[in-house]
Structure 1
Amino acid sequence: MRIKKSLSKIVNFDDKESRYIYRIVENSIRNRQAFGIEIERQDFEEGEVINLERDIVDIVASNQRKAEDILMLLFNNLVSPIHLVDIVGEYADLCVNDFGF
């Protein structure tokens, strides 16, 4: 797995600061290029990490441009790692079919 693109955003809620990191990752599936998405959320309190959430969907697109479009959708809507599968699950299902699974 190789990171192809990374975006981050810092958001403040009450006394807590959260850093969201969105990544496109490149994989090889059946000798074909595949792209996945990882979201990580780091929660800070007084400058210290107090919680970390992370999730990844290994296959969401067979081309990087489509993966970038999905990444921007997630980034612009501040999707958390907890909801990653809910949002990109259908894209992943369609892409998996492209690989003959």
Structure 2
Amino acid sequence: TGVTVSSASLKNLTIYAFGSVGFKNPKSTCFDTPSLLYLDYTDTVSEDYPKLNLEHLVEARLNIMPRLSQFKLDVEDDEVRPFGNVWKLLSALRNVRKLGLSYDTLEVISVC
């Protein structure tokens, strides 16, 4: 399953997807929101971020958390499964002037 937010006129968006009843992590998350100025996004890491149209975004707050199943710690060599697609999301924030990253987001980025 995937989640897509698509609006040519949307200016502000807050998504708090983590912890909802019946919550299932989306395989993909898309933001096709060319006029979006403010994003407050809390979710677990998606497998992919295939479409990210955030070119006018000025302010963003990210709280991207790993699912427990996304951390695969190998006792022998301390190998952690990477979250490579998070870089797609971060790259889409290139015009943001004010960026807030949670501790969880920084932890996810550190193992990409």
TM-score by length of 2: 0.25
TM-score by length of 1: 0.26
Structure whose residues are more often helix by fraction? 1
